[in-house]
Every structure is written in structure tokens, then in C-alpha cells.
């Protein structure tokens, strides 16, 4: 079976208590959560953060385990808030990993088809800002043992390629992010909305290309 691992960045999530409180003050790693009750109730979440995180003093959580200079905290919140994890899980995918980096959510999940990824991204865009696919990785290995997905960049216009390459070179997709949308736009001498429009169009084309390759591969196997 050929599966796909997707990593998606969500800027300025509408409902994410951790991202709201952490803001741009650092990175939260290893976020885990209990199952979401079908009839409401509360969800328990745990996250790992450095002990020097100043925002913790204003966030109601309980430290439960420490190692080195990091501590695992636990807190509860109302279920069914429409947060990033819940929207991903509505598609039938389990959240593999979630991190908070400079106020943005990085969520990783796995599926067996690209259409599910498109549906998840569409659902996220309906209630969150700046949703971007950071990485798609196939589980099928190449001859050299590496796992990769090859996309034909010729589907992009010259401008879209320039925007994508500049964003990558400046660390816009890095973890943590090394450049903001405004900084990349300035380097390209374009307005920030123009940058995000070109970037969104490029990502849409690349996803279309991936979907087409997936359909072609299935047809060839039949």
C-alpha cells in the first residue's frame, strides 16, 4: 500500500488555545490529545514546552512531568471547538503530530489518497487563515531506499516558480519559520496579498499535479 504523510501549516488559527497564548514566543512540541467526545464535554491535551516560556504564567495548565529544561503540561478545554485537530479528524484521519511554532500550527496526518488531503485543506481554509501544505511524503520507497514525491514544476508560471523558490530560500517554510510573508513579499518587490495569491496558486497547481499522477499510476496498475 502507498500512503501519504502530509504536513500542513495553519497561520493564525481561529480556535487554538495553545497557539493564541504562545504567540511568537517559542515552540511547543509533542502536543497530544484525548479522543473528542461525540456529545460534547471536554478534551484533555498535553504539550511539551521549555521551562522558560513566559506565557505559561497566563495559561491555566498543570505541569505533570519534567526532563532537562522541558516540562509536559496538561490542560482541559471544551470539545468540538472546530480547532485544527478536530477538523483533520472529521476527514477520518488521525493527527500524527502537532506543534506550535511562532503562533502557527504545524499538523501532520496520514492518508492513502491525495483527495483526502485536498478536502482537509479546504476545510481548514474555511475557518483558518494562511493554510499551506509544507510537505507531502509517499510511503513507497524509491530504488535507493528514500521516500519522496516527484512533482513537475513546469506546471507553474515563471512568477509562481520565483515566488515559491524565494519563499523556500528565505526559510518561509522552515521550522521554525525564518521569514514572514511580508518579508518575502518585500524581497520580491510585491505586495503581501499578491505574494500569498501567487503562493496559493502555485500550491494549488502542484496539488493538482499530484492528484493527476496518482490517478495515472492507479490506471497503469489496473
Q: Is residue 144 part of a domain?
A: no
Q: Is residue 145 part of a domain?
A: no
Q: Is residue 86 part of a domain?
A: yes
Is residue 44 located within the same domain as residue 88? yes
65 vs 97, more confident:
65
Is residue 29 located within the same domain as residue 98? yes
pLDDT the model gives residue 156: 82
CATH of the domain at 168: 1.10.10
Return the number of other C-beta atoms located less than 10 Å from residue 8's C-beta: 21
Domain count, the chain: 2
All 3 cell numbers of residue 145? 531506499
Is residue 52 located within the same domain as residue 158? no
Is residue 109 located within the same domain as residue 174? no
Is residue 30 located within the same domain as residue 59? yes
Cis peptide before 176 (omega within 30 of 0): yes
Place of cell 509544507: 134
Q: Is residue 3 part of a domain?
A: no
Smallest CA-to-CA distance from 107 within 127, 89, 80, 129 is with 89
Is residue 114 located within the same domain as residue 201? no
- Report yes or no: 3 and 139 within 8 Å, Cβ to Cβ: yes
Distance CA 93, CA 112 (A): 10
pLDDT the model gives residue 148: 52
Kindly state the average pLDDT of the residues 59-69. Answer: 89
Phi/psi class of residue 41: alpha, beta or left (left: φ > 0; alpha: ψ in -120 to 50)?
A: left
All 3 cell numbers of residue 22? 504562545
Of 104, 137, 170, which closes a domain?
Answer: 137
pLDDT the model gives residue 187: 93
Q: Is residue 1 part of a domain?
A: no
pLDDT the model gives residue 50: 86
Distance CA 183, CA 191 (A): 10
Global pTM value = 0.61
- How confident is the model over 76-130, as pLDDT tens digits? 888 777 788 888 888 888 888 888 887 788 888 988 887 888 889 888 888 887 7
Q: Is residue 106 part of a domain?
A: yes
72 vs 221, more confident:
72
DSSP 145-157: S-B-----GGGS-
Is residue 61 located within the same domain as residue 158? no
Is residue 98 located within the same domain as residue 205? no
Is residue 15 located within the same domain as residue 80? yes
- How confident is the model over 9-42, as pLDDT tens digits? 888 666 687 887 877 666 787 787 766 555 668 8
Could you tell me the residue range of the domain that residue 193 belongs to?
150-222
Is residue 33 located within the same domain as residue 98? yes
Smallest CA-to-CA distance from 121 within 197, 190, 200 is with 200
Smallest CA-to-CA distance from 6 within 82, 115, 126, 100 is with 115
Is residue 52 located within the same domain as residue 96? yes
Q: Is residue 2 part of a domain?
A: no
- How confident is the model over 176-205, as pLDDT tens digits? 778 888 999 999 999 999 999 999 898 888
Is residue 197 located within the same domain as residue 95? no
Does the pLDDT at position 146 exceed 50?
no
pLDDT the model gives residue 197: 92
Amino acid at each position: 500500500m502507498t500512503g501519504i504523510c502530509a504536513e500542513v501549516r495553519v497561520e493564525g488559527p481561529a480556535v487554538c488555545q495553545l497557539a493564541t497564548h504562545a504567540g511568537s514566543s517559542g515552540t511547543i512540541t509533542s502536543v497530544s490529545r484525548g479522543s473528542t467526545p461525540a456529545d460534547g464535554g471536554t478534551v484533555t491535551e498535553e504539550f511539551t514546552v521549555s521551562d522558560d516560556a513566559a506565557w505559561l504564567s497566563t495559561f491555566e495548565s498543570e505541569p505533570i512531568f519534567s526532563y532537562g529544561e522541558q516540562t509536559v503540561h496538561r490542560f482541559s478545554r471544551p470539545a468540538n471547538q472546530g480547532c485544527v485537530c478536530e477538523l483533520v479528524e472529521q476527514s477520518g484521519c488521525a493527527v500524527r503530530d502537532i506543534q506550535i511554532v511562532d503562533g502557527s500550527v504545524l499538523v501532520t496526518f496520514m492518508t492513502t489518497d491525495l483527495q483526502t488531503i485536498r478536502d482537509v485543506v479546504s476545510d481548514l481554509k474555511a475557518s483558518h487563515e494562511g493554510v499551506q501544505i509544507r510537505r507531502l511524503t509517499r510511503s513507497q520507497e524509491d530504488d535507493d531506499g528514500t521516500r519522496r514525491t516527484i512533482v513537475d514544476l513546469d506546471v507553474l508560471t515563471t512568477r509562481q516558480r520565483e515566488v515559491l523558490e524565494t519563499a523556500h530560500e528565505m526559510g518561509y517554510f522552515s521550522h521554525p519559520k525564518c521569514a514572514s510573508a511580508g518579508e518575502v513579499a518585500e524581497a520580491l518587490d510585491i505586495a503581501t496579498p499578491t505574494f500569498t495569491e501567487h503562493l496559493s496558486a502555485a500550491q494549488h497547481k502542484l496539488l493538482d499535479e499530484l492528484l493527476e499522477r496518482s490517478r495515472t499510476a492507479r490506471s497503469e496498475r489496473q
